[in-house]
Amino acid sequence: DTGVSQDPRHKITKRGQNVTFRCDPISEHNRLYWYRQTLGQGPEFLTYFQNEAQLEKSRLLSDRFSAERPKGSFSTLEIQRTEQGDSAMYLCASRASWNTEAFFGQGTRLTVV
Amino acid sequence: SQQGEEDPQALSIQEGENATMNCSYKTSINNLQWYRQNSGRGLVHLILIRSNEREKHSGRLRVTLDTSKKSSSLLITASRAADTASYFCATDLSGNTGKLIFGQGTTLQVKP
């Protein structure tokens, strides 16, 4: 399967714990995006990378969130000191260029209890 | 912030009927993409239409774009029960970031 891959698919964590999600984009895509989707809403942009450079972060991305793409391939999104409001689906997408199709992974559903 | 609005929010039709969903947006765009999402799953890419295109087809899907009205529509012909899902439009704003701005989606139910 050469699509976008996300791991894990589901994560349940206790409030205050740290969690990390991984995204493997389509191999030849140099742009990688993170989005967050809450129930009944469309996805909202969080941040994006071109190769290993993080070029934009949304105001939704508080200081507890950090994202990396160390070698311009896979990316990780870490949430520190999770809160119940962090419960959402976290989606990753990749694109070959800024104006080509964006392909999404299956998402990681985070539940903070 | 969300810039797209989809209409209707929910649509229920019988198998075999056509389904039309509309999307409006507020600012200039490079292109517009439509996605399908089954409950609890990721987004499946359907069609990308560029700002200089007016219509695009893919199988049973037809997408139109009217940049003067800042609106797009997605038509699904001869619907099937398997088309039951949420459908989202996503706009690529002018510029070269490639970040997408989504609407709230239309929930389509196709009854067998």
Any residues with CB less than 8 A from the CB of B79 and at least 6 apart, and which?
A: B13, B15, B16, B17, B18, B19, B60, B108, B110
Candidate from A45, A55, A102 with C-beta closest to B45: A102
Both tokens of B3, joined, read: 């810039």
pLDDT band at A1 (very low <50, low <70, confident <90, very high): low
Averaged pLDDT for residues A24-34 = 95
What pLDDT, on the 0 to 100 scale, is given for residue B1? 45
Q: pLDDT tens-digit profile of B4-33? A: 788 999 999 999 999 999 999 998 899 999
Beta strands in chain B (DSSP E): 5-7, 10-14, 19-24, 29-37, 43-50, 55-58, 61-66, 71-76, 85-93, 100-102, 106-111
Chain A CB contacts of B90 below 8 Å: 42-43, 102
Across chain A, mean pLDDT equals: 95
Question: Which B residues 81-110 touch A at CB under 8 Å?
Answer: 88, 90, 92, 96-105
What pLDDT, on the 0 to 100 scale, is given for residue B95? 80
pLDDT for B69 beyond 80: yes
The nearest CA of chain B is from the CA of A43 a distance in Å of: 6
The nearest CA of chain A is from the CA of B77 a distance in Å of: 23
Chain B CB contacts of A31 below 8 Å: 98
Name the residue of chain A whose CA is nearest to B102's CA: A42
Chain B CB contacts of A95 below 8 Å: 98
- CA–CA separation, B32 and B92 (whole Å): 6
Please check whether residue B44 touches A, CB under 8 A.
Answer: yes
Please check whether residue B46 touches A, CB under 8 A.
Answer: no
